[in-house]
Every structure is written in C-alpha cells, then in structure tokens.
Amino acid sequence: MDERTRADVERAEAALVEHYPRLVRLAYLVLPPSMGRHRRVLTAHGLVQRALPRARLRRPDGGLPAQRGPAAEPGYDVVRLRALRLALAYEDRPVRGPAAMPQVWGLRLFPRAGGAEELALDQALSAVPAPVRAAIGLWQLEGLDEDAARGVLARAGVEEPDAAQRAAAQLDRETGAGAGALLNSGEFDPCTVQMRPTDLLRRRQRVRVAVALTALLAVGGVVAGVSRGDGDRTGHTETVAERALDPGRLLRTPNDQWTDTSRVDFTAWPARGRQAGDQELLGRALRVWAAPPEDARIVASAGTSTRPPDHPPQLLYAGLIDNVMVVVLHDGERLVRYAEPEDATPTLHFARVDDADPTTGAALVIGRGNGWMRYLLAPWISDVTVRDLVAPAAPVHGLHVAPDGVTDRIPTPPVGSAVCGHWPAAQFRPSTRIGAAAVNPPFLVTDLDDLVPVRLTSLPPGGTPAAGPGEATGAPALQGWARTVCSLGSLRGAGVRSVSNWAFAEQRLPEGGGSATWMCTRADTWRGPGSVTLQFLPPAARPAEPAAIAGRAANTAACSRFGAPVAGDVRWRAKSGKWYLLAAGSQEVGGFDVTGGVRATGDGGTFAAPVGAGGPGAAAQVVGRLRSGGSVRALRP
C-alpha cells in the first residue's frame, strides 16, 4: 500500500471520530422509518461504524465531485459516501441477523420525542423513498447545494438523483423553511437517546438487573450521548413498567377536548363505554397485552408492532359489544383492541395509527361478526349513512348510533366471491364544531378487515396528485368507484390508510367506440409505502361493470404527490372484432413508442394501434416519451 492510500485511510478514520454524531444523524434520516425507531437507532450506529474504507482503498475514477457549500474535510466525504450507500441499501434489501446492528437485549432505544412540527416532518419523511430522504439530508444537514448533492446521490447508487431532488424540493417547500432546524433537533438525533424496557415483566428481578447492566455497557461503546437521567437505574425502569400496567393510571381525555384542540385524532377521543370504570377488566386487558397467554389470539395490521406498553396508554372504550367484553387502548402510535368473549380465549388486535387526522381517525372497528361489523365513531362525527358503492345511484341509508358512539351493524364487503355484487361503505359527516362544512365535507370509508377503516378519495380528470385528492362523494367520483371498488379485495389486512382514484387520462377509442377513462388507484399504508393499480374503463353497459387491470406496482410513489409520470397499456377489441393496443399516460407524457410484437409510434398523451396478425396475445413493450425529455415504461399487470 503506498503512502497516499494509507494517508487517505487515516484521514477517513479521523473524520469518522470527529464527525461521528453528524454521520449517524444522516444515516438515521435515510434508513426506512418502517424499521421502527429502536432498530433504526442501532442500525445507524452500526452502518457508520462499518463505513471506514479498508486498507486497500481504490479511488473512483474522476474523484469526488467538488462541493459548493461547506467544504468537506479530507476523508470525510469518503466515509459519508460509504455510510450513505449502506443506508440506502436498506430500502429494498434490509440486512438481518446479529451482524446487522449492535445488540441491546432487554432495552429499547429511541430519540427524545419532539413537538407537533417534528412529528409532522417525521410523518412526511416516512411517506417518501430513501433517495428523497437522502437528498433532504444532504441539503439540510450537510449544507450541499443541488449540484453537489446530485453528485453524491449518483455516486451512492441512486438511479434517478434528479427525480429524488425534485421530490425533496417539493417536500422541503411543504414543510417550510424550518426543516433544517427540525432535522437538527433531538427528534432526529440517534446519539442522544432514551431507554425503555421490553419484556421486564417476564424476568425475575435478578435477571433484569444483569440484563440492564450488560445492555448499558454495550450501549456505552456505541451511543456515547445517551442522557444520564433516563432509565439508568433499574428501580426507575421498574416503576415505569409498573405504571404502564396500572389501570388507575390510564390516560382519559376530557369529553369536550376535541372541540378545542389543534390535534384532532385519536388523542382527542374521550373514554367511553359502560365498563370504562371497571378496574378489574382494564387490568386484565393491560396484563394480557404485556404478557399474552399461550392460547391468546394476536392479530396485527401489516407493519404494526405488538410490543408491550412502555407508558400508561389512553383509554378509548370499555364495554360489552355483542356478548364480547371489549377494551380499546391507544399508546400514541397504535390502537390495541382487547376482546374477551365468554368462555373463550382473549384476542388482541394491533393497528398502527401514528399519522391519523380527522378523517383517518374518525372511527375504528369495535366489533365484527359473520358478514357484519360495527364502528366506534369519533366524537366529531355528527351523522353516518351507508351506501353501496357498486350501485352509485342507489339512495343512502341512515345508521343509528348509540350514545356511546357505537353504530348498528353494517354489512361487510364480500370475501372470496367471484362476483362482487355489493360493496358497503359508510359516509361520515363531521361536526361543524371542528370547522365549516366547506372545510370538512362528508367523506367515505370502507372496511378492509383492519382495525381502522380505509378512507376513499378521488381525483377528477385534469387534476394532479400534487393538488391533493378530494372526497369521493360526488356523482363522477362514485361512478368511478362503482367500476373499481371490487379491486380493493386484494388489499385486505394490508394496513391500508387511504385509497384514491385518479382519472389521469381520457381517450377516444378507435372506430367510434366512445370515450374511455384511465384510472390510477393508489393505496397508501399507515407505515408509508404505497401500491398502485392502473385500470382501464371503456364504455359500459351497466354502471358497475368492472374495469380492466392495465398495470400494477408495489412500493412506489407513482400517482402520489411525490410520484413520477405514469403510463399503461391494454388490448381492446372494437365492435368490428379488430384488436387494438391502447396506451395512455399522465400529463407529462407526450408520445409513445411500441416495439416487439407491435411496432408503432405516436404523439400525444394517448395512443392506439392495431395489433395485426398477432391478435390480443401479441407481446409488445410500450414506452412513453416525456415532454421534458426521458421516458417512462408502461406498468405491467
């Protein structure tokens, strides 16, 4: 090894030591929020410690790009680039097993909680992919300008750095000028953390002491910035755990707090139900949550932790629902429903709800049976009606609500049926006490077998996802949902928060076949990632005729406010019997090129070409040309 290579390595080592907290903060920001704060803290430290180059350093051709902004110190840009590459790799290929991170058995570590602004920024960051978070970090934490950040992103392996920077700029505008200060706050500092126990109650006191001491020693070498006053004495953490299981310490929100708060979500729900004062029942629910018996049934929505409570949760409901004793608790991040049937084992149902709002925090499923369910409504819901989305012109039906907020039974959507003959949905009207009707209009929700119903929205033709979806209660939106709602069956139990229909293109069909609509149906989950289904809606003989699936994509930002252009294609048969290849794209698409079994080209946002001798089975690759340059491939089914 020559002297220059040795010097490079030594400079990288010095930079790592000097700027360790800065590097860990950047890695923590880029790592997927779905990992959870504990795992993300430990993984960020582990990645930065693995970022040192080996002795045989190979300098990439061309050198590192010059940085306009704070000058990088010798060696620092090397370790930053390696840490960034490792963190970005977790987006699709998470490292598992003991080598992935330092091990801290028996303790959970997480940064100090911030205020409402930090929470809003964290929620916005969880909805974008890792390259966008990396771009924000390079701007706001590292002080790089666009050109320098683009170079670092490209060298870190980001396939489309320009798209990542555009999405980052959009997010930066929406979060305001204080994003940089917020990212430098304790909410995003994985070097100053708090400790909480995991399974303290399952170990004897002597074992607990040994584990806590061992964990503290392990963390001491990794997280030097742990606050001294938080959880450093076993007696203190025992008190915290005991308080979390004390029914007398359950949080109870005053009945009318929802009318005078800026945070209208599950935290504003009062405690309701006839058994809300039953300490024995509440104590049983907390103990089963902390240590479920072997025969207990545990259900968790996708991406939801089932860990025991680490602080006294909030009580939302306790009462008898259809001969089942039910307790619903909220710990600030999750809803937990404890169901205690007569002569049967208890059930725990967990659902993540840490980004709720007046619509997604408007109801939860309090009871469920064969073909029916009941909602428990938020106190700000003043009226509920039920409609069949498959019959958009049918009248709505009123629904009785008990004084404690529990509705009558509502039919559930069909499961496993080849024919989707009906699809019940509830239409909620918010109280004017949280805003005028123009500000908080009625909205639709439906049940997809999770603890929280899914909000349904719609974007009209000519609209863009950046403008945000509207409520799906108008006639055009209901007509679109009548033909696409049955595709929601594939999303059952997936932890979906909301689903939006976006009519991204209208197309005149060949041979005078009328007008067709291209729809992108996007499902967003509580944990962040979303999926899309492109659907083709030709003229139909009946309002609920199902759409044709034109393409699908999972874990994508497509059709969202952070999404790239989208395109799709289908085979369509005219009345003459002739088959055509049809394609359409969003507003950014200005033309199409088709290769393979069909060869054709055309300008405009829609495209049609006869498939020729190959018929409907002719294989073809469809690529949309963007008006700004570049291209987008049509999604495949």
Residue 245 has pLDDT above 70, yes or no: yes
Residue 136 has pLDDT above 50, yes or no: yes
Average pLDDT over residues 207-215: 39
- 311-339: per-residue pLDDT in tens? 999 999 999 999 999 999 999 999 999 99
Amino acid at 109: L
Q: How confident is the model at residue 194 (pLDDT cuts 50, 70, 90)?
A: low
CA 399 – CA 211 distance, rounded (Å): 54
Domain boundaries, the chain: 3-188, 250-354, 567-637
Question: Higher pLDDT residue, 107 or 328?
Answer: 328
Q: How confident is the model at residue 218 (pLDDT cuts 50, 70, 90)?
A: very low
- 52-94: per-residue pLDDT in tens? 776 544 444 334 444 444 444 567 888 888 889 988 888 765 4
Average pLDDT over residues 224-240: 43
pLDDT at position 47 is 87
Q: Percent of the chain having pLDDT more than 90?
A: 48
pLDDT at position 234 is 40
In this structure, what token pair is assigned to residue 19? 């700027």
Instruction: Tell me what the pLDDT averaged over the chain comes to.
Output: 82
Residue 217 has pLDDT above 80, yes or no: no
For strand 530-537 and strand 515-525, is the pairing parallel, antiparallel, or unpaired? Answer: antiparallel
Q: How confident is the model at residue 418 (pLDDT cuts 50, 70, 90)?
A: low
In this structure, what token pair is assigned to residue 417? 């049926």
CA 543 – CA 537 distance, rounded (Å): 11
Q: How confident is the model at residue 230 (pLDDT cuts 50, 70, 90)?
A: very low
pLDDT at position 605 is 95
Average pLDDT over residues 33-43: 79
Helix axes 130-140, 76-89, angle to 10 degrees: 150
pLDDT at position 113 is 59
- 383-393: per-residue pLDDT in tens? 999 999 999 99
- 478-532: per-residue pLDDT in tens? 999 999 999 998 899 899 999 999 999 999 999 999 999 999 999 999 988 899 9
Q: H or E segment at 478?
A: helix 475-484
* Radius of gyration from C-alpha coordinates of the chain: 27
The alpha carbon torsion through 355, 195, 309, 455 (nearest 10 deg) reads 10
Which residues face 547 on adjacent strands?
none
In this structure, what token pair is assigned to residue 344? 């049967």
| Angle ∠(443,446,447) on CA atoms, nearest 5 | 150
Let me know: does 363 contact 317? Beta carbons within 8 Å: no
Average pLDDT over residues 417-442: 82
CA 174 – CA 536 distance, rounded (Å): 32
pLDDT at position 79 is 86
- 287-304: per-residue pLDDT in tens? 999 999 888 899 999 889
Locus of tokens 């690529």: 623
CA 244 – CA 332 distance, rounded (Å): 13
Q: H or E segment at 92?
A: none
Nearest to 90 by CA among 143, 149, 134, 127: 134
CA 202 – CA 180 distance, rounded (Å): 42
pLDDT at position 216 is 36
